[in-house]
């Protein structure tokens, strides 16, 4: 039995009838846009990946390139940069480096725009500033840039902290700060804060300030707070969780922190008062507020920051 011919209703809209299929699918699709002066008016369909899907796809693509860095196939996998880290050299992809590190991106852009750039497609050679890091630490940082993963250990965390700070790989720097706090915790807060200040690890400074706020009066008594920077004091006093029995304790601490032997000279004292007095909750000073109001220096410093 021969099949019944399709009716016009059965013919899907936009699909050419059998007799037109011979013109080829490409020609047919091209004809769909003919007769329209506005390209935007032609049939179209937008494909947009979700951020998570796009990120996963890029991560998988970078990870597939990591093998070229580690198994010696660099020359056949598009590696165009040689990173010289101490006595080790790693062939890698400028695309990956420029995505993660603004410092390396700037360095590579300068080389690309330089008239003295090597000809013939020779890889650019970057000398890596290791500081306290080991060549293996830089390889670990590279691994993160390609795969999104790295293993932090007590033996490599300072090296990776230095590298991630120097080259601007912020996610690794934040991870190093979290790991250091897990390792040392409340027992080594001054040391952790020194590290946070040296490498500008904002998250580490924040969690340390929160821990200090919980024991503010005890730490005043044992002298722990006097060696900290004015910046840490600012973040500490800004905590709503600051554990004090009386607001006059905060004022007295600020005044002592701004006095010898904790500062040297009138300018240093004025700077500390100017930065820290606004964090004193003046309405909670009670009768002490009358004494403060009679001190011209304190009122001027307080008024300057209001």
103-111, long-range: CB < 8 A, 24+ apart:
103/166, 103/167, 103/168, 104/167, 108/81
In this prediction, residue 43 carries a pLDDT of 63
Q: What are the tens digits of pLDDT across the range 28-46?
A: 667 766 665 666 666 667 7
Q: What is the mean pLDDT of the chain?
A: 80
Determine the Cα–Cα distance for residues 306 and 297; give it in Å rounded to an integer.
15
Q: In this model, does residue 266 exceed pLDDT 90?
A: no
> With bands split at pLDDT 50, 70 and 90, how would you rate the model's confidence at 169?
very high
Phi-psi region of 265 (alpha: psi -120 to 50; beta: other; left: phi over 0): left
All domains in the chain, ordered by first residue? 53-111+120-168 (3.30.710.10)
Determine the Cα–Cα distance for residues 119 and 171; give it in Å rounded to an integer.
35
Question: Angle at Cα 215 formed by Cα 213 and Cα 219, nearest 5°?
Answer: 105
Q: What are the tens digits of pLDDT across the range 1-16?
A: 555 555 554 555 556 5
Residue pair 256/273 in contact by the 8 Å Cβ criterion? no
Residue pair 259/273 in contact by the 8 Å Cβ criterion? no
């Amino acid at each position: 039995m021969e099949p019944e011919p399709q009716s016009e209703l059965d013919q899907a809209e936009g699909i050419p009838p059998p007799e037109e299929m011979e013109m080829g699918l490409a020609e047919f699709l091209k004809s769909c846009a003919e007769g329209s002066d506005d390209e935007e008016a032609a049939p179209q369909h937008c494909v947009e990946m979700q951020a998570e899907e796009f990120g996963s796809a890029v991560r998988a693509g970078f990870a597939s390139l990591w093998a070229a860095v580690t198994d010696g196939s660099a020359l056949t996998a598009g590696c165009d940069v040689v990173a010289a880290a101490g006595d080790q050299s790693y062939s890698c992809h400028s695309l990956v480096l420029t995505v993660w590190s603004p410092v390396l991106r700037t360095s590579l852009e300068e080389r690309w725009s330089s008239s003295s750039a090597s000809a013939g497609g020779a890889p650019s050679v970057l000398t890596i500033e290791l500081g306290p890091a080991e060549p293996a630490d830089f390889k670990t940082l590279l691994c993160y840039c390609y795969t999104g993963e790295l293993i932090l250990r007590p033996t490599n965390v300072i090296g990776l902290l230095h590298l991630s700070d120097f080259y601007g790989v912020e996610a690794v720097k934040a991870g190093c700060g979290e790991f250091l706090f897990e390792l040392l915790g409340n027992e080594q807060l001054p040391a952790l804060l020194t590290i946070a200040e040296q490498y500008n690890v904002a998250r580490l400074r924040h969690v340390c300030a929160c821990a200090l706020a919980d024991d503010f009066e005890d730490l005043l008594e044992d002298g722990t707070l006097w060696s900290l920077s004015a910046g840490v004091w600012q973040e500490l006093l800004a905590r709503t969780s600051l554990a004090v029995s009386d607001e006059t304790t905060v004022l007295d601490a600020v005044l002592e922190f701004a006095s010898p032997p904790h500062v040297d000279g009138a300018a240093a004292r004025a700077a500390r008062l100017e930065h820290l007095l606004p964090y004193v909750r003046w309405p909670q000073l009670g009768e002490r507020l009358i004494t403060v109001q009679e001190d011209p220096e304190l009122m001027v410093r307080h008024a300057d920051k209001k």
